[in-house]
Amino acid sequence: MTLTPEQLAEIAEARSETKATLRATAEGMEKHLYVAHEVLDHGLVRVIDYMGDDSAITQAARVSYGKGTKHVTNDEGLIRYLMRHWHSTPFEMCEVKFHVKLPVFVARQWIRHRTANVNEYSARYSILDREFYIPAPEHLAAQSTVNNQGRGELLQGEEAQRVLDILRDDATRAYDHYEDMLSQDGQKGLARELARMNLPANVYTQWYWKVDLHNLFHFLRLRADAHAQYEIRAYAETMCDIVRDWVPLAYGAFEDYRMGGVNLSAKGVEVLKRRLAGETVTQENSGMSKGEWREFEGVWG
Which residues from 195-224 bind a second copy, rule CB under 8 A?
A: 196-202, 206-208, 210, 212, 222
For the chain, the straight-line distance linking the first and the last C-alpha, in angstroms and rounded, comes to 42
**Minimal distance, residue 54 CB to a second copy, in Å:** 14
Assess contact for 289 and 271: CB atoms under 8 A: no
Other Cβ atoms less than 10 A from the Cβ of 260: the count is 8
Angle at 62 between CA 60 and CA 66, to 5 degrees: 135
The rounded distance, in Å, linking the Cα atoms of 144 and 137 is: 17
Q: For a second copy, which residue of 45, 92, 217, 242 counts as binding (CB under 8 A)?
A: 92
| Residues of this chain, 1-60, that bind a second copy according to CB under 8 A | 14-15, 17-25, 30, 33-34, 48-52, 56, 59-60
Nearer to a second copy, 191 or 241 (CB): 191
The rounded distance, in Å, linking the Cα atoms of 187 and 182 is: 9
* Residue 32, helix vs strand vs coil: coil
**Minimal distance, residue 120 CB to a second copy, in Å:** 6
Q: For a second copy, which residue of 143, 161, 172, 285 counts as binding (CB under 8 A)?
A: 143
* Residue 265, helix vs strand vs coil: coil
| Residues of this chain, 156-195, that bind a second copy according to CB under 8 A | 159, 162-163, 166-167, 170-171, 173-174, 177, 180-182, 184, 187-194
Determine, following the binding rule CB under 8 A, whether residue 64 of this chain makes contact with a second copy: yes
> Which among 36-44, 233-241, 242-250, 254-262 is the span making contact with a second copy, rule CB under 8 A?
254-262
Determine, following the binding rule CB under 8 A, whether residue 93 of this chain makes contact with a second copy: yes
The rounded distance, in Å, linking the Cα atoms of 49 and 25 is: 11
Nearer to a second copy, 171 or 239 (CB): 171
| Residues of this chain, 255-274, that bind a second copy according to CB under 8 A | 255-257, 259-269, 272-273
**Residue 31 neighbours by CB under 8 Å, 6+ apart:** 245
* Residue 47, helix vs strand vs coil: strand
| Residues of this chain, 98-137, that bind a second copy according to CB under 8 A | 99, 103-105, 107-108, 111-112, 114-115, 117-122, 124-127, 133, 135
**Minimal distance, residue 31 CB to a second copy, in Å:** 9
**Minimal distance, residue 238 CB to a second copy, in Å:** 19
**Helices 75-84 and 54-65, packing angle to 10 deg:** 70
Edge-to-edge, what's the strand order for the sheet holding 37-39?
37-39, 43-51, 95-103, 204-212, 117-120
**Minimal distance, residue 230 CB to a second copy, in Å:** 9
Nearer to a second copy, 36 or 174 (CB): 174
Q: What is the DSSP letter of 70?
A: G
- From the list 141, 138, 151, the residue with the least C-alpha distance to 226 is 151
> Which among 2-10, 37-45, 91-99, 236-244 is the span making contact with a second copy, rule CB under 8 A?
91-99
Q: For a second copy, which residue of 7, 10, 89, 285 counts as binding (CB under 8 A)?
A: 89
Task: Give me the amino acid identity at 86.
Answer: W
